[in-house]
Amino acid sequence: MTTFPKEELIVVCGGGGFIGGHLIADLRRQGCTRLRAIDRKPQDHWYQRFPDVDNRVLDLQNLAACRQALQGAHVVYNLAADMGGMGFIEHNRALCMLSVLINTHLLMAARETGVARYFYASSACVYNADKQKDPKVTALKEADAYPALPEDGYGWEKLFSERMCRHFREDFGVATRVARYHNVYGPHGTWDGGREKAPAAICRKVIQAKRSGQLELEIWGDGQQTRSFMYIDDCLKGTQLLTASECVEPLNVGSSELVSINQLVDLAEAIAGVKLQRRYNLKAPKGVAGRNSDNTRIKEVFGWEPGTRLRDGLERTYAWIHDQIAINAASR
């Protein structure tokens, strides 16, 4: 395991986003003294922002911006992408594909500046769709990305960018590390507006139904589709373990606790202390029938795997979203 000096510059691309904001917060807690956060959004739209961090608004689709972002960098975390939940990625495939410019230009800048380590956040959406047709899915191991048949748009961009990381490592010596995230959730993330993922969307719908007294909830699909969901704290630990390691191949970073969307709703209802009438929208985007993380490899490499129980992480996420809804209501 490699450790990085805390006084060296760490750059978090996508630092105004959900995972990036949490990563900056965690690095600050660890005593890292030189942090730079990069995001395209205006800073008042960042999920978390810290005054002692070098916060910069840059569009990393542009090579010149990437060169500016990585000037003096020792470690780079690339979490930047135009993405969202299933509703967003199914209807914005071209926008998702354009994120390939971010990773490509960041890699070019990383090569020029000689960064010590470059982390790329990939996704379980790279996995072959033919292996995800049954809700009782066999957990996906890293080799299941090939032969390639990833999620259209978003998944293809992630798989291509994985290959770009590999070839920059093999051909140019850029020390790249790649994690395949499985459905990260938690507080300080998107919970409305169309880009939110299932845990946040379900929490929001349950909270709004309870507040309004209209005790019904719309579920996309038949509710039988299955997923695993990884709490943000586990994501941060896995990301940093992998970045500092000598593991050069893409690695699953995800929970292996498989649940159906109906079971996810059950948990949110139990947290809220309410039972809702369910309406199933069979025309809405629902993604693959089943997806779960095979954690054999991450346990071999680190003797660890993401282990936060979904119920525990969802309680924290529900409480945070509940507060956001209450704050918004009070400000009207």
pLDDT digits (tens, 9 = 90+) for 143-156: 999 999 999 999 99
The residues that are catalytic are 154
The predicted-structure confidence for 21-45, as pLDDT tens digits, reads as follows: 999 999 999 999 999 999 999 999 9
Whether the per-residue pLDDT at 90 is higher than 90: the answer is no
Q: 1 pLDDT band (50/70/90 cuts)?
A: very low
Using CA atoms, how far apart are residues 106 and 66, in angstroms rounded to an integer?
Answer: 5
C-alpha closest to that of 214 among 205, 222, 223: 205
Long-range contacts of 328-331 (CB under 8 A, 24+ apart): 329/211
Using CA atoms, how far apart are residues 264 and 41, in angstroms rounded to an integer?
Answer: 31
Q: What percent of the chain has pLDDT over 70?
A: 99
Whether the per-residue pLDDT at 230 is higher than 50: the answer is yes
pLDDT of residue 221: 93
The predicted-structure confidence for 240-271, as pLDDT tens digits, reads as follows: 999 999 999 999 999 999 999 999 999 999 99
Q: What is the mean pLDDT of residues 53-71?
A: 98
Q: What is the mean pLDDT of residues 314-327?
A: 97
pLDDT of residue 2: 52
C-beta of residue 206 within 8 angstroms of C-beta of residue 272: yes
Using CA atoms, how far apart are residues 72 and 35, in angstroms rounded to an integer?
Answer: 11
Which of 89-93, 223-227, 240-244, 287-291 has the lowest average pLDDT? Answer: 89-93
Q: 89 pLDDT band (50/70/90 cuts)?
A: confident
Per-chain mean pLDDT for the chain:
96
More reliable by pLDDT, 60 or 90: 60
Long-range contacts of 60-66 (CB under 8 A, 24+ apart): 60/13, 60/101, 60/102, 60/105, 60/106, 61/98, 61/99, 61/101, 61/102, 61/105, 62/101, 62/105, 63/105, 63/108, 63/109, 65/105, 66/102, 66/105, 66/106, 66/108, 66/109
Question: DSSP per residue over 195-254, as a string?
Answer: ---HHHHHHHHHHHHHHHS--EEEEES-S--EEE-EEHHHHHHHHHHHHTSS--S-EEES
Whether the per-residue pLDDT at 92 is higher than 60: the answer is yes
pTM of the model: 0.95
